Structure 1
Amino acid sequence: MNQLEGKIAIVTGASRLKGIGAAICRELVKNGCHIFFTYWTEYDKSMPWSMESTEPARLKEELAEAGVKVSCMELDLTRFDTLKQFIDKVSEDVGAPDFLINNATYSTNNDYSNLTAEELDRHYKVNIGATTLLSSEFAKRFKKKVGGRIVNLTSGQFQGPMPGELAYATTKGAVDALTITLAAEVAPLGITVNAVNPGPTDTGWITEELKRYLEPMFPFGRLGDPSDVAKTIKFLVSDDASWITGQIINSEGGFKR
């Protein structure tokens, strides 16, 4: 029997068809989950990889072809005052959620010499502020007593330094601390909390030059694919992972920095 059949998942940050968020949605839908995903086109359009405005609608249409309930909305995660209403909408559109996948992230290059308070605040609000508050709201509303799952996306900040990404490394590193403590707090509610570090993943941002530099660091001779992390998350939300909580899983194909 499919363990995920009929479960309801929230996936944040699924703006781009090539992204990790979209891959997570596809994997969960393939296994019978109903999905509510968020996106924020303003951010992705400002990045070098950019995106097409139609991508979220195309993803929704693709997912719905599996015969599950699918809904989505554009959500600015820096607006903390809207997060409770967001969870309300999830329940109205697809039902009370079983899983929360905190995939959305904010990342720009900076170091000690050019970091500003404004840029640090943007990283904080999305990477740790929204992740913490959404997780808290999810936990407060979870009444099913068993099978609740929160999965956070991190990036291996404690695997080694990330020069040139000071704000990103600082705020995503805090996600690891959140994961460990929140897991202990919400276990009595029937919720597990884990984080996944997928390592360098080819979602369209990696140039050919960077790809040639990174590939020798992977013993399998290739970069991570979005489907790799999606399958890890599928396992973590399943009943088979009910005894796994408070863990930071470095699922990065043996990547050596």
Structure 2
Amino acid sequence: MNKLQGKIAIVTGVSREGGIGAAICRALANEGASLFFTHLCEYDQEVYPRSVDEHWPDIFAQELRKMGVQAAHMKLDLAQSGSAADLLAEVQKTLGLPTILVNNATYSVDADFRQLNESLIDAHCAVNIRGTFMLSAEFSRLLEAEMKNIGSSHTLGGRIINMTSGQGKSPMPGNLAYAATKGAISVFTESLAAELAPLHITVNAVDPGPTDTGWMTEEIKKALLPQFPMGRIGVPEDVAKLITFLASDDSEWITGEIIHSRGGFS
């Protein structure tokens, strides 16, 4: 269980116990990676009012350390200008050079054409597009500079893993801004992968499908279950396993892919 031994990973959007971000951190730590995670509990509090504890990030960091890895965290709003540079500076100061980036943080508010407005569009773009794009770019520039420092004969490599939502598989009515901004991440993933391939930095995106992270009511689960041919609804650990593989050296020949890991959901 040491495929990521000595690696440092950044995971954004880790604000609560049952979320995908927490599952990703645990899976990466289980393979030996040290973790730096970000959180914005105020946002999650609005969506999951009963499952967010402002003290949880500290508790979770302790849990990760008990797995034998280093762990640190910070509050971060990716909508704020300069947040990407601030994050990378803090990671290097506390843990060292990161070579794995998981862009898990997202902003999502349901809105159909009647509800859509400029501020809602801007809020989605600020986190899902600008936040993901700038953090990926700053991370890549950091690794490129490090490679120049250590010499061209040494291949450092890196992994960028983005989260998307299967918006290319079928329409998502009632969630227009979210679907459109997640679609932008897919296009960005494919183009950035081509740019970074010479640096041996892979870029992929994962669509986990509907995942039970605490937002599903029993009615929603009952409606979704028949669409899962495997007979169960997806859980955060499902996508965490795939992301751990994509973060490892075993995935070095996979880049520019949008991977739909949905248990056959349709």
The reply to whether TM is greater than 0.5 is yes
Question: What is aligned with 1:168?
Answer: 178
Aligned residues: 256
Query: The residue matched to 1:32 in structure 2 has which SS?
Result: coil
Question: What is aligned with 2:126?
Answer: 125
* 1:253 aligned onto 2:263: yes
Could you tell me which runs of 5 or more consecutive residues in structure 2 were left unpaired when the two chains were aligned: 148-154
Query: The residue matched to 2:10 in structure 1 has which SS?
Result: strand
**Paired residue type of 1:208:** E
Matched residues in 2 for 1:2 and 1:85: separation? 29
* 1:114 aligned onto 2:103: no
Matched residues in 2 for 1:248 and 1:242: separation? 15
**Paired residue type of 1:161:** P
159-168 or 55-64: which moved more?
55-64
Residues 144-193 of structure 1: CA distance to partner in whole angstroms, max 9, x if unpaired? 53330000000001000111100100101100000000000111111000
Measured on the aligned residues, the alpha-carbon RMSD in Å equals 1.1
Matched residues in 2 for 1:49 and 1:250: separation? 29
Of all paired residues, the percent bearing the same amino acid is: 53
Matched residues in 1 for 2:156 and 2:212: separation? 35
Matched residues in 2 for 1:121 and 1:44: separation? 19
Question: What is aligned with 1:104?
Answer: 105
**Paired residue type of 1:20:** I
Equivalent of 2:159 in 149, 152, 158: 149
Could you tell me which runs of 5 or more consecutive residues in structure 1 were left unpaired when the two chains were aligned: none
**How is 1:30-49 mapped onto 2 (pairs within 5 angstroms)?**
30-49=30-49
Question: What is aligned with 1:87?
Answer: 88
- What TM-score comes out, normalization by structure 2 length? 0.94
Residues 101-156 of structure 1: CA distance to partner in whole angstroms, max 9, x if unpaired? 00000001101111010011111111111000000000001035333000000000
Matched residues in 1 for 2:131 and 2:15: separation? 17
- What TM-score comes out, normalization by structure 1 length? 0.97
**How is 1:1-257 mapped onto 2 (pairs within 5 angstroms)?**
2-50=2-50, 51-142=52-143, 143-144=146-147, 145-256=155-266
Matched residues in 2 for 1:254 and 1:111: separation? 27
Question: What is aligned with 2:150?
Answer: none
